Structure 1
Amino acid sequence: MLRLGIVDFDSSHCVEFTRRINGIGVPDDQCVDGGRVVLGWPGTSEMAPERIEGFRPEIETLDVDLVGDPSEMLGQIDAALILSLSGTPHLDRARPFLEAGLPVFVDKPMACRFEDAREMFRLAEEADVPFFSVSAMRFCEEVISFCDNRSSLYGTVHGAVSFGPAWRAEGNPGLFHYGIHPVEVLFSVMVPVADRDGDSR
């Protein structure tokens, strides 16, 4: 079983992900097998520092031990989840884990600068470890059902329009805060296409 560490408690995802991974307080069909959140660092927050103290006691009821610094997790976890509400600190939060050779999941938005995103991928490639960031919209039943039945129901799909919430949040400029959700749906429902060099993307 993978031992997981979570970093930053300013998003409800710290509680909701932990409930599902640790199998506490959620229906069986929402439990995720194979891992357990064992350590957490409450962290700091650019966007909602007041939320940290609200989520901290909830995390502690989910059998998670707290550390005073993310570096204390090294050697005690097998993978890290970076859950900061803002995408700005994600590179700094992910770097020590990637450099230590640990797989890392980064919550949305992955980053607020292209250079930060590219550097996280570079670090993961250099360490030869999995690195992942995604919107949960990709895994919605409606999206999966559409993709599974696309050809039989709709034939060839030549184009699509995807829209979603566009709440703007200070700390995640422009559409970074929720923009990933409709983008993930769009990339999910469109079949891969060949680029001009013939690679499938």
Structure 2
Amino acid sequence: MIGMDTSHVPAFTKLFHDPAAAGDLSGFRVVAGLPDGSDTPMSRDRIEAFTKETRELGVEIVDSVEALVERSDRLMILSVDGRIHLRQAKALFAAGKPVFVDKPVAGTLAECLALYGLAADLGIPCFSASSTRFGPRIVDPAWRSEAGRVLGATSWGPLAYQAGQPELFFYGIHGIEALFTAMGPGCRSVTRVKTPFHDLVTGKWSDGRVGVYRGLLQGEKPYGLAIHGEQSTVNLAEEPSYEALCLEIGRFFKTGVPPVSAAETLEIYAFMEAADESLRRGGASVELAEVMAKAAG
């Protein structure tokens, strides 16, 4: 793993090292970690402590990408600052090994496109996702039977912004990933309104359905998802699960098959970029195709 500046590093290590790990969590050991952060306080002020904690879990701390890839047959990019992920991915993809990229994929939509484009060009199995996509309730097909055909959905959750990055990339991804898990891809346009209390993003899908994300800035900040179906409205409320995400990472590392496509992940990041652009335009509707074309250059 490369990064060492986020709580995900020791948390994921503990899950993969657990003697009781079963199924797709079993059979792995985190063997090496490379500290690599940025000047953002969330990275700069935490990398030493998380590196120390991870070393105490039996992970060898190395000082170069070459040493990292030599010791590893699967790779994880876990740096908290998405702005350095593309640089890291370029170095790791050269090794030809499967790579999981923690959220956010990168620091801009253009960098997200570049990262996935490079993976495709080199034939590198690669995926990125929020853990909210894989919670026990949302992956249980029972809600689909209860709701019937999905007509729309509303998700919500805590929201915080990180300077220098698109506002929704760092924390908004959790609720927005849950929204897309319910709705599926196909969002065409986005509008956004922000107040001191809530950050509201409304997406219109190509088939006329509407999906809404509400970022909670004040007051109680639970995670939640309401799915409006032909038969009923189903409420799913569950916190992000590291274990659920690591199960998917383990399955991906064993099979080489990403659990979410590059196309859908890039649509999610286009949704968030279009939301930023809508805010800059006073809440006007912004087409995802517009921001994708601009990012592609």
Contact 1:41 1:69 in 2 (8 A): yes
Shift in Å at residue 31 of structure 1?
A: 8.3
Q: Which amino acid is the alignment partner of residue 167 of structure 1?
A: A
Aligned length: 189
- Other-structure match for 1:46: 39
Higher share of residues assigned strand: 2
CA-to-aligned-CA distance 1:115-153 (integer Å, 9 cap, x gap): 2111111221122121111000011122223xx023421
Q: Does 1:87 align with 2:82?
A: yes
Q: CA deviation at 1:101?
A: 0.9
Other-structure match for 2:115:
120
- Contact 1:22–1:31 (Cα < 8 Å) also in 2: no
> For residues 195 and 168 of structure 1, what CA distance do their matches in structure 2 show?
29
Aligned to 2:45, what secondary structure does the other structure show?
A: helix
Conserved in 2, the CA contact under 8 Å of 1:8 and 1:43? yes
Give me the whole-angstrom Cα distance separating, in 2, the residues matched to 1:107 and 1:191.
21
After TM superposition, the score normalised by the length of structure 1 is 0.84
Q: Paired residue for 1:11?
A: 6
Unmatched 5+ stretches in structure 2: 187-204, 208-262, 265-297
1:64 equivalent in alignment to 2:97: no
Q: Could you tell me how far apart the structure 1 residues matched to 2:171 and 2:17 are?
A: 26
Deviations 1:158-197 (A, max 9, x none): 111112221112243311111111111111112566979x
Is the contact between residue 21 and residue 31 of structure 1 (CA under 8 Å) also seen in structure 2?
no
- Give the one of 140, 153, 163 matched to 1:170: 163
**Are 1:164 and 1:181, in contact at CA under 8 Å, matched by a contact in 2?**
yes
The aligned amino acid for 2:67 is E
Of residues 123, 135, 142, the one that matches 1:140 is 135
- What is the alpha-carbon distance in structure 1 between the residues aligned to residue 101 and residue 126 of structure 2? 8
Aligned equivalents of 2:135 and 2:113: distance in 1?
A: 27
Residue 109 in 1 paired to residue 92 in 2? no
Does the Cα contact within 8 Å between 2:86 and 2:115 map onto a contact in 1?
yes
| Residue number among 93, 98, 101 corresponding to 2:93 in the alignment | 98
Q: Report if aligned partners of 1:20, 1:32 keep a CA contact under 8 Å in 2.
A: yes
Q: Is the 8 A contact 1:108 1:133 kept in 2?
A: yes
- Maintained 8 Å contact 2:104/2:170: yes
Aligned partners of 2:5 and 2:51 also within 8 Å:
no
Uncovered stretches (5+) of structure 1, i.e. residues with no partner? 1-5
The RMSD of aligned alpha carbons is 2.5
- One-letter amino acid of the counterpart of residue 164, structure 1: G
Q: Percent of aligned pairs with the same residue?
A: 35
Alpha-carbon deviation of 1:108? 0.6
